[in-house]
Each structure stands twice: as C-alpha cells, then as structure tokens.
Amino acid sequence: MPHPSDHDDPKPGDSYVQSFARGLAVLRSFGADAPAQTLTEVAASAELTRAGARRILLTLLHLGYVEMDGRLFRLTPKVLELGFAYLSSLPVWTQAQPVMEDLVQSLRQSCSAAVLDGDEIVYVLRVPAHKIMSINLGVGSRLPAYSTSLGRVLLAGLPDDIVQQRLVSASLPAHTPHTVTDPQRLYEIIRQVRIQGWCQVNEELEPGLVSMAAPVVDRNGRVVAAINISGQVNNPPPAQLLEHCLPMLLAAAAKINLLVRAQK
Amino acid sequence: MPHPSDHDDPKPGDSYVQSFARGLAVLRSFGADAPAQTLTEVAASAELTRAGARRILLTLLHLGYVEMDGRLFRLTPKVLELGFAYLSSLPVWTQAQPVMEDLVQSLRQSCSAAVLDGDEIVYVLRVPAHKIMSINLGVGSRLPAYSTSLGRVLLAGLPDDIVQQRLVSASLPAHTPHTVTDPQRLYEIIRQVRIQGWCQVNEELEPGLVSMAAPVVDRNGRVVAAINISGQVNNPPPAQLLEHCLPMLLAAAAKINLLVRAQK
C-alpha cells in the first residue's frame, strides 16, 4: 500500500486530526456501560478537559449525533449510519447473505463472515443455526486472528513477510490447552491453509468449539473476507465434517466469489 | 429538552463544527454504490474541494478509519465501532434479543425492534422467522414512521403537540391504496394507539404486509423503543392475529420493559 509523502501526511500534533480524533473518541465513549453520560463523565472517559468535552458534545448535538436530556447526553440512531456505510461498502456483505442462509439451512451449523483488522477478525455477518445466539458474537465483535479458522484464512491472504511480522509482534495467549501459540508453528499452519484453500480449527479458542473457514477472493485475487461454519465438537462427527460439510462450505465460498467478481 | 444557551451553541459557521461534519460526510460517502473511491470521487460525493477532501481522507487514513490501495480509498472495519457504540448503548438492544427470539419461535412471525429518529423509524434488532431475509431491512435501515406499526407506537410516546407538529410538517405519501395520509386521521389513530397500548397496521406500507407493535418503556415512563411482529396478510388469519399473537406480543413487551427497568 503506497503512503502519502511525509509532507502531506497529517501528524498526530496536527490540530485538525486531533479534534477529529477527539470527536470520534467522544462517540466511542458511549456504550453498554455508559448509555447516558454527563459532561463530566464524557470528559473523564474520553480523557478530555471539561471545556474540550463540552465543545465536542455541543458539536455532536448540533450535527444530530447526540441528544441532551437534562444533564445527560445520549447517542442518536444517526450514529448507525456510519457503521452502515462501512457494511454496505463490503462486497461480501451485500452478496454473501443468501448463500450463507442456504448453507445454514442445509448443514444446521452457524455460518459467519469476517474481515481482518490488524491482529483481529471483525464479524460482518452472522447467520445462527439456532435461534438463541449470544449477543456478544454479533456484527462488529472481534476475536484474535491467530486462534480462529476465519483469522487463519484471512492471514493466509497476506504476503509471507507480513504474516511473519504479525505473528512475531502479536500477543498469542493460549485460550485452551489446544491453542497453538508458537509463532513458527502458526506460520507453517497458515502457509498450509494458503495451499489447501481452507482451514479447520478444533477447540483452540474455546473448549468444545470447532470451525472451518474458506476465503472470499475478489477479482484481483485479494482475500477480502472469510466465511466459516462452526459447531460443537463431535456434532457432526469429525469424519462427516470433512466429507460432507467441508465440500459444501467450499461450494458456498466459490459461489460468493463469483458474485463478488460479477459486481461492478 | 433544555438547550444550551445561544452563547455556547456552536453555529453552522463554526470552523470546528464544519470540519467535523465534513469528516463524517466523507465517511458516509462510502457505501454499496461506492465501496472504493478516488480522491476526486470523494470530493464530488461529499461536496468538497479536492484539497478539503484530501485533508480529511489523510486524517481518516491516519486515524485508521480509511485505507488506501493505489488511488482508491476504502473504509476499514474500525468504522463499525462507531455504530456498535450506539447499539450497545441502547437498553432494548442489550435486553430484548432473547425475549424476541422466544417470540419468533412461538409464533413463527418475524420480530423487530426500532427507535424513532425524526419522521423515521430505524431498525436496531431484527429476528427473522424465515432464514431468507431481505438485506434491505437489516439493522440501521429506515422506514417512514406514520405508515408503520412501529412508527405509530413510537409517535404515540411523544406529547400530543409534538405529534401534531410532526404530522403537519412530514411528507405523507400513500405507499398502497390503504395508506392513511390525512394528518388529522393519523393523529386520531396515534391517540388511540396511546390509549390501547398497541398498534396494528394492515397493508399501509406494502401490499400483503401486516404488522402489530407494542412500546418498550423505561423506568421514567419514556417510550424508548418499539417491538413488532410482521407477516403476510391472512397468515395467520386476522382473528388468530388478535386472539393469539397480540397477547404474546404484549407479554414479550412487558418482559422487555421489566428487564430494561431492572438495568442499572
């Protein structure tokens, strides 16, 4: 990826960059733990002075991204448009859903799509097999790339030197006794995933959880996303997973690839 | 809702407000029709000069919200955090999902939750009864309030004078031959909805589509969201809708109300 020249690149000290970053930090300071905040609370959680927080809150109020109720500020639904702009700009998001729905109906396994962001995967679409799905694994939630099938498929889409850099610099804790945490061993697994075109991960993230993933590739050969199926260990049994589920996962990924490439 | 004094309120001419608004406009210029844009395209769609668009894109690049690939700019998954901050700040979003899942399993009708934003409803949660769901009705999508059951329940949560103001100033096109478009008649319907505590709308948005909605009320008596069930006309038949589905919808709303009020 080319970079703008040093001359043009805005610096962290640049006042415009700083004020924009502070505005977004104020938006992000709201959440499940802080749905409504006073000026003082916003200043504390976004690490701003009261005057700075006040200026940004009044700006957000003026632009319609926050509302004020007495001394309390809250986000408005307008904020959703920002996340929605990202999702609808993803080829996989607009094309993959019907294919993933079909796969879930055939296999009775949950199916998800994710993209890579640094050392993490970010879910962009989830089709649960069972109606009761943990809200914590909704769209926008993140998991470490190295210990998930989606993450290994996405890492396999990067050049070898970048993969090595990422594995050396990433924190690689063991989530279960099965988690592979040795960077060299992970590097070999990811190279193998690139050759075979899919990835299976058994209980490396959570005991009892198995998953298989395949890449979504755009017309330039770039891995833009990955889809997976996940379920409980031995349900279906390992042999059926490889003989029946894997071919259907690969067929679904191939179908999505065609749709993504057909997009203008 | 109290307003900050004129002295403090940032004006549209205020340079900070303007630059923040422009930055957000650049984020919103990406989407299904424009997943990747050149500098020139961004400038055109966000109505900025090339120099202005360049400064904002480099800022977003620096903050990690945009990535650059040759001459093309794309949004990154980091943008999702902004929309996610809003969703997770909603009491209904964190509490309603399991209750809505149960309702869908019992009734085999789709269930959605929405909030009001001006004259529109914004979906914040959707539980489809059939796996194949139109992507166009996902989280973040909008519909006019006056012709939907969710919207009428949300409007009924506002004071009478505000409802009248909204109905007089809103555009009220007929989507079907059944759509009520007379502001006075709509006002009477909304008052009736407030008294009875639920709303049914038959084919006013789309031929063949019927829905029933109920409010979600916080501990201060404020209508913070609405949930609905929707299905095809005559499936279930109208009598069953009122005798069987409505009580279950109201029970689900009551359960969500208790959960929302129990939140700290």
Contacts of A78 in chain B (CB under 8 A): 117
Model confidence at A14, in pLDDT bands (50, 70, 90)? low
Inform me whether the pLDDT recorded for B41 exceeds 60. Answer: yes
Contacts of A75 in chain B (CB under 8 A): 85-86, 89
Contact criterion met (CB < 8 Å) for B32 and A127: no
* pLDDT tier at A4, thresholds 50, 70, 90: very low
- For residues A221-227, give the mean pLDDT: 93
Residue A202's CB: how many other CB atoms inside 10 A?
A: 16
Position A105 scores a pLDDT of 85
Query: Which residues of chain B from 73 to 102 reach within 8 Å of chain A, CB to CB?
Result: 74-91, 94, 97-98, 101
Residue of A nearest to B68 (CA): A1
Tell me, what's the pLDDT at B136? 39
pLDDT (average), residues B3-11: 47
Answer positive or negative: Cα dihedral of A86, A92, A94, A100: negative
Closest residue to A84, CB basis, from B83, B91, B132: B83
* Contact indicator for B20, A19 with CB cutoff of 8 Å: yes
Provide mean pLDDT across the span B90-105: 83
Of the given ranges (A22-36, A40-54, A205-219, B200-214), which has the lowest mean pLDDT?
A: A22-36
Q: Which of B68, B79, B104 sits opposite A82 (nearest CB)?
A: B79
Summarize chain A as % helix, strand, coil (round to 5): 45, 20, 30
Q: In the predicted model, is pLDDT for residue A22 greater than 80?
A: yes
Check pLDDT > 70 for residue B15: no
Q: In percent, how much of chain B has pLDDT > 90?
A: 50
Q: Which two tokens stand for residue A62?
A: 């003026």
**Cβ contact, residue pair A16, B20, below 8 Å:** no
Query: B134-150: per-residue pLDDT in tens?
Result: 433 567 778 999 999 99
Which residues does A245 contact at the CB level (< 8 Å), separation at least 6? A107, A109, A212, A229, A236
- pLDDT of amino acid B1: 41
Q: Is the pLDDT of residue B151 over 90?
A: yes
Rounded CA gap, B252 and B97, in Å?
11
pLDDT at position A158: 96
Closest CA to A111 of A258, A262, A250, A243: A250
CATH 1.20.1440.230: does it fit domain A90-262?
A: no
| The predicted structure's pLDDT at residue B131 | 47
d(CA B149, CA B206): 12
Mind telling me how many Å the CA of B94 is from chain A's nearest CA?
8
Task: Inform me whether the C-beta atom of residue A24 falls under 8 Å from chain B C-beta atoms.
Answer: yes
Q: Which residues of A touch B12 (CB under 8 A)?
A: 62
Please report the pLDDT score of residue A262 as a whole number: 81
Give A223 or B105, the one with higher predicted confidence. A223
Nearest-neighbour CA in chain A from B177: distance (Å): 30
Contact B82 A84 (CB under 8 A): no
pLDDT at A87 (0 to 100) = 80
- B188: pLDDT confidence band, cut at 50, 70 and 90? very high
What confidence tier does A187 reach under pLDDT thresholds 50, 70, 90?
A: very high
Q: How far is B103 from chain A (nearest CA, A)?
A: 11
State whether B83 and A83 contact (CB < 8 Å). yes
The answer to whether residue A104 neighbours chain B at the CB level (below 8 Å) is: yes
Beta bridge partners of B202: B210
Say yes or no to pLDDT of A91 above 50. yes
Q: Positive or negative, the Cα torsion across A229, A233, A237, A238?
A: positive
Q: What confidence score (pLDDT) does residue B237 get?
A: 82
Between A and B, how many residue pairs show a Cβ–Cβ distance under 8 A? 203
Distance from CA of A75 to the nearest CA of B (A): 6
CATH of domain B15-81: 1.10.10.10
Q: Are B210 and B241 in contact (CB under 8 A)?
A: yes
Enter the DSSP assignment of A149.
H
| Three-state secondary-structure class, residue B49 | coil
- Whether the per-residue pLDDT at A180 is higher than 70: the answer is yes
Q: Dihedral angle at the C-alpha atoms of B254, B260, B263, B264, nearest 10 degrees?
A: -120
Which of A150-164, B70-84, B158-172 is predicted least confidently? Answer: B70-84
Q: Would you kindly state where each structural domain of chain A is located, as residue ranges? A: 15-80, 90-262
Identify which has the larger pLDDT, B86 or A147. A147
Distance between CA atoms of B163 and A220, rounded to whole angstroms?
Answer: 53
Q: Is B188 on the interface with A (CB under 8 A)?
A: no
pLDDT on residue A236? 79
* Lowest mean per-residue pLDDT among A50-64, A121-135, A249-263, B12-26: A121-135
**pLDDT confidence band for A13 (50 / 70 / 90):** low
Closest Cα in chain B to A114 = B77
Smallest CA–CA distance, residue B191 to chain A, in Å, is 24
Question: Does residue A1 surpass a pLDDT of 90?
Answer: no
Tokens of B146: 């006056």
Query: In chain A, which residue's Cα lies nearest the Cα of B4?
Result: A58
Residue B193: the pLDDT is 97
Looking at every residue in chain B, the average pLDDT score rounds to: 86
Chain B's closest residue to A20, CA to CA, is B20
Write out pLDDT tens, residues A114-171. 999 889 998 888 877 764 444 334 677 789 999 999 999 999 999 999 999 999 998 9
Q: What is the pLDDT of residue B32?
A: 76
> Would you state the pLDDT for residue A108?
85
Amino acid at A121: I
What's the angle, vertex CA B237, arms to CA B233 and CA B242, rounded to 5? 105
A15-80 CATH fold: Arc Repressor Mutant, subunit A (1.10.10)
What tokens were used for A148?
Answer: 């998930």
Confidence of residue B13 (pLDDT cuts 50, 70, 90): low
Residues B211-236: pLDDT tens digits?
999 999 988 889 999 999 988 888 77
pLDDT band at B14 (very low <50, low <70, confident <90, very high): low
Q: For residue B210, give how far its alpha carbon lies from the nearest alpha carbon of chain A (Å).
A: 23
Q: Which of B88-92, B100-104, B209-213 has the highest mean pLDDT?
A: B209-213
| Local confidence band at A11 (pLDDT 50, 70, 90 cut-offs) | low
Contact A49, B94 (CB under 8 A): no
Query: Does A38 touch chain B if contact means CB atoms closer than 8 Å?
Result: no
Mark yes or no for CB contact B20/A21 under 8 Å. no
